[in-house]
Amino acid sequence: MFETTVRYNNNNNKHPVETQPEFYDSILFEPHLVAFNSDATKEKIYDITGSEGIDYYIDPGLAEFERGRNFRKENGDITDWTRAYLRHLGDPLSSILEERGNANPEKMTEQDISEIAASVVRFQETFATDAVNVDLSNFADIGSPPAEPKKIIPWYNKIDDESKISTAKTILNASQDAATIPLKPCVYTTKSMISDAGTRSNLIDLVDELDVSECFLIIEGLDKRETGQSVYENVIKFVYDIRDRGIVPHFLYGDFFSHLLAYFGLGGTTYGTLYAEEHTEELKATDGGNFPNRYYFDPIKDFVNPASAADLGLNTDFDLCDCPVCSRKFDSWQDMAEKVQEEEDEDDIDDDEPQSFEKVEDNSSVENLKTVLQKHYLAKRWDHTLTVQSESFDDLIAELKDDHQSTVTPFSQSFQINDDRDLDYMMRWVHAAKEMDQLAYDTLDDFRTGL
């Protein structure tokens, strides 16, 4: 199995996520949303896990406190949704943020680290069952709903230097001591840290010493247009080595390359409803302004604006997407372009993933353009999961090469696409995978049979 996890960051995710449980295996809840909309989120958890059989996790979300001001308002005050989370975690974290401005574990006592780590575990383990204000009679026909998260994600710190590994070990040991539900720790590191075999091994030791069966991974800055072939090769080695230790790694942010990594041992990937395919540390507070509409054009495994998608579709041999939402909403590429333009002219659609969650209104009952684009994206990424579970490594590589050849010229000639964009990343994926193909299993069935 390759686990597909969708981020639930705010109420604008409600309609695309809650109406399409067939397109993912698990949900990753943003902790601030969970804390800020406490009762509503508990009800979502009971409904989705109970009636749909979907697993869930809660992101600990503490890494953003280490540096910068991303969790503060422009005037320096801690944001309301962060305060809601801090009320659950309590001291010493709340006091440290008030007194020092940030909460860097490198500058904490071991006792403070242990207490904060335990509070994170406690929040995840008890949130859905503690003081639940949910009418459980709704679930009488299915028995007691499975309210516990699938696994606990301990507090993770950014490891951009080997000296920080010992701090991560302290956090994880304290988390393990506090937990009654199995852990799924996250190794949050950088591209430079995984360039050395010895450092990769030390990072893997972190989770291997915990005797866990799974872990999450964040490799910062894996932007497809800024990541070279050699870095992708290092990522492949890292994933393979983790799996070789008997631990199943799972990306906490992932684009299509994460699906390609399934053949090298990756056991899952995570993404948002239109964003969060890669992660870069945010140090400054943002105003939560609107993001532009964008359409996931599957042949290039990337987003373009809807007009560009229609232009590419009309100038290639690719038919209109046959996912359920596109089939229902559009008759042709031209029809899609016209309908998108009509709706954009009529309304200024709310941002998909604003930073200020407390400003978000639940307008998800209306299937507007943004919702359509979100639902299309989730459907296509689920197709990728089905593909790696059914196709061989060689067949998928051949398809990537064919798609690149079919789209590279129309892409470069389109007046709808910026001149500084290209599709070189597709061939970097291909070349990196072929260079490392001695580590690849031909099919995911080979992992299960141990061949």
Q: What is the pLDDT of residue 379?
A: 97
What would the pLDDT profile of 77-132 be if each residue is shown by its tens digit? 999 989 999 999 999 999 999 999 999 999 999 999 999 999 999 999 988 776 44
If asked whether residues 337 and 414 sit together in one domain, one would say yes
| 187 confidence band (pLDDT: 50, 70, 90) | very high
If asked whether residues 227 and 335 sit together in one domain, one would say no
Residue 147 lies in a domain: yes
Q: Is the pLDDT of residue 391 over 90?
A: yes
Q: How many domains does the chain have?
A: 2
What would the pLDDT profile of 12-21 be if each residue is shown by its tens digit? 888 899 889 9
What does the block give as tokens for 73? 């308002």
- The residue type found at 264 is F
Q: What is the pLDDT of residue 12?
A: 82
- Mean pLDDT of the region 67-76: 85
Can you name the residues that pair with 90 across neighbouring β-strands? none
- Mean pLDDT of the region 283-299: 74
Q: Is 250 strand, coil or helix? A: strand
Task: For strands 302-304 and 295-297, give the pairing.
Answer: antiparallel
Residue 16 lies in a domain: yes
Task: Return the HEC string of 273-334.
Answer: CCCCCCCCCCCCCCCCCCCCCCEEEHHHCEEECHHHHHHHHHCCCCCCCCCHHHHHHCCCHH
Among 133-142, 265-274, 368-377, the least confident range: 133-142
Residue 238 lies in a domain: yes
Q: Is 112 strand, coil or helix? A: helix
Q: What is the helix (H) or strand (E) element at residue 341, kind and residue range?
A: helix 333-346
Task: For strands 248-251 and 214-220, give the pairing.
Answer: parallel
If asked whether residues 251 and 329 sit together in one domain, one would say no
| 142 confidence band (pLDDT: 50, 70, 90) | very low
If asked whether residues 126 and 202 sit together in one domain, one would say yes
| 350 confidence band (pLDDT: 50, 70, 90) | very low
- The residue type found at 409 is T
If asked whether residues 258 and 313 sit together in one domain, one would say no
If asked whether residues 181 and 214 sit together in one domain, one would say yes
C-alpha span between 346 and 343 (Å, rounded): 5
Which of the listed residues 256, 271, 286 is the one where a domain comes to its end? 271
If asked whether residues 185 and 314 sit together in one domain, one would say no
If asked whether residues 129 and 261 sit together in one domain, one would say yes
C-alpha span between 427 and 398 (Å, rounded): 11
Residue 241 lies in a domain: yes
High-pLDDT (> 70) share of the chain, %? 88
| 419 confidence band (pLDDT: 50, 70, 90) | confident
Count of CB atoms within 10 A of residue 18's CB?
16
Mean pLDDT of the chain: 87
Residue 288 lies in a domain: no
Q: What is the pLDDT of residue 451?
A: 41
Residue 133 lies in a domain: yes
Give, as one character, the DSSP assignment of residue 269.
E
| 229 confidence band (pLDDT: 50, 70, 90) | very high
If asked whether residues 210 and 299 sit together in one domain, one would say no
C-alpha span between 200 and 262 (Å, rounded): 19
- Mean pLDDT of the region 233-244: 98
If asked whether residues 260 and 307 sit together in one domain, one would say no
Instruction: Kindly tell me the sign of the dihedral angle through the C-alpha atoms of 193, 256, 67, 123.
Output: negative
Burial 290-299 (b: 16+ CB within 10 A, else e): eeebbbbbbb
Residue 415 lies in a domain: yes
Q: Using an 8 Å Cβ cutoff, are 27 and 57 in contact?
A: yes
If asked whether residues 306 and 266 sit together in one domain, one would say no
Residue numbers of the domain that contains 307:
295-449
| 6 confidence band (pLDDT: 50, 70, 90) | very high
Q: What is the pLDDT of residue 43?
A: 79
Burial 328-344 (b: 16+ CB within 10 A, else e): ebbeebeebbebbeebb
Tell whether omega for the bond before 92 is within 30 degrees of 0, i.e. cis. Answer: yes
Which of the listed residues 228, 255, 271 is the one where a domain comes to its end? 271
Residue with tokens 């940030």: 102
The CATH number given to whatever domain includes residue 228 is 3.20.20
Q: Which tops the pLDDT comparison, 82 or 39?
A: 82
Which of the listed residues 271, 306, 332 is the one where a domain comes to its end? 271
Q: What is the pLDDT of residue 24?
A: 96
- Mean pLDDT of the region 230-253: 98
Spatial CA neighbour of 200 closest among 243, 164, 242, 156: 242
| 288 confidence band (pLDDT: 50, 70, 90) | low
Residue 277 lies in a domain: no
If asked whether residues 244 and 317 sit together in one domain, one would say no
Question: Which span out of 37-41, 46-50, 166-170, 278-282 was modeled with the highest average pLDDT?
Answer: 166-170
- Mean pLDDT of the region 415-424: 84
Q: Is the pLDDT of residue 384 over 90?
A: yes
Q: What is the pLDDT of residue 48?
A: 79
Spatial CA neighbour of 375 closest among 316, 425, 315, 330: 330
Residue with tokens 């596109």: 326
| 68 confidence band (pLDDT: 50, 70, 90) | confident
| 358 confidence band (pLDDT: 50, 70, 90) | very low
Q: Which tops the pLDDT comparison, 315 or 111?
A: 111
CA atoms within 13 A on the CB side of 297: 28
- Mean pLDDT of the region 361-377: 73
